[in-house]
Homo-oligomer: A and B are copies of this chain.
Amino acid sequence: MPELRKDPVTGRWVIIATDRAKRPTDFVRERVQIRGTGFCPFCYKNESKTPPEVLAYRSDASARDTPGWTLRVVPNKFPALGIEGTLNRQGEGLYDKMNGIGAHEVIIETPDHNLTLATMPVARIEDVLWAFRDRVLDLKKDRRFKYILIFKNHGDAAGASLEHTHSQLIALPVVPKRVIEEVEGAKEYYSYRERCVFCDIIRQEAESGVRVIAENQEFIAMAPFAPRFPFEMWLLPKPHRSAFEESQKSEFEQLASILKDMLVRLDKVLDYPAYNYIIHTSPFPDVSNDYYHWHLEIMPKLTKMAGFEWGTGFYINPTPPEESAKFLREASVEATVSSQ
């Protein structure tokens, strides 16, 4: 008998198909491979092919927009939003619109074309997190912005247009719908229980253990109770933390380590799948609060069943999270992870 499960934060119902449950090997698709063919604007010496850098980490004295960097952030060459201008909100009969003001940046995670975030050393992954934070702190000074979306498209099937490993951020004058849903769901939960719903989830999951994939001192990695996608994973800070950008040094160290661990497990169990991750954090300006709890969601791109899901917000997931968590938890990756 399939199960209908409700996400405790957003109230979304999901069908978990327990009968025809799918194992990792049932998902047939192309593995993500680095081909290294053709011109790459994110490799050394091609710095002039991107817009000028807005941030770079360099251990030597190399000059701006020249080789020597270990991480580089540049505006997207084809930005979805423009940085110059005013919002100019206006109506058009019963419609509302405004200028598409925002920032769209690319975080080039390493100069090495052959690495992925999963194969990068933990210290370099930590740098990626610092770069996210540095850019958020800088962009949030611009009072036009209400939210900064940090995400990664890994692999062609997940929407990556360049294979050289990178993340993206989009600073927005509005808050995305799903973030609003989560924040409002969390606020409602808080209003009658005076507890953070995510803290309660973490407590319950840590006790039962069936959906836990890994944990360290600061973070827990788990499959959510009502996942939309097979092998969906969430990484959450264990103590209550409302804003990604307020994380401390020790937290970024631990996050880098568990993020690498999760991505290595994903590659191992699902044979190098395409995936997306996104960071959900508190919208500006109320980033320090008791009701919302920031987290990172990883969604492997395994199925094409995106058809009516898009139009309905109704998802059918062929893999129960207890099973996906077990596969990921039991993958033997210790040696791989600790050696790097």
Q: Which residues of A contact B (CB under 8 A)?
A: 1-6, 8, 10-13, 15-20, 78, 80-82, 85, 92-101, 149, 151, 153, 156-160, 172-174, 176-179, 181, 197, 200-201, 204, 208, 225-226, 228-229, 276, 278, 297, 299, 301, 304-308, 310-314, 316
Contact = CB atoms under 8 A, between A and B. Distances in A.
Nearest to A317: B80
B174 A13 contact: yes
B100 A2 contact: yes
Q: So how many copies of this chain end up in the complex?
A: 2
Contacts of A11: 177
Contacts of A313: 176-179, 181
A12 to B, nearest CB: 5
Given A98-B3, A278-B311, A308-B151, A177 B12 contact: yes
B97 A312 contact: no
Contacts of A156: 304
Closest 9 CB pairs of A and B: A2-B100, A177-B313, A159-B307, A178-B313, A176-B314, A151-B308, A153-B307, A278-B311, A6-B96
B97 A5 contact: yes
26 contacts: A2-B82, A4-B100, A5-B95, A5-B96, A6-B96, A6-B97, A11-B177, A13-B177, A15-B80, A20-B78, A80-B316, A93-B208, A94-B204, A95-B226, A149-B314, A151-B308, A151-B312, A153-B307, A159-B304, A159-B305, A176-B313, A177-B313, A178-B313, A178-B314, A181-B313, A278-B308
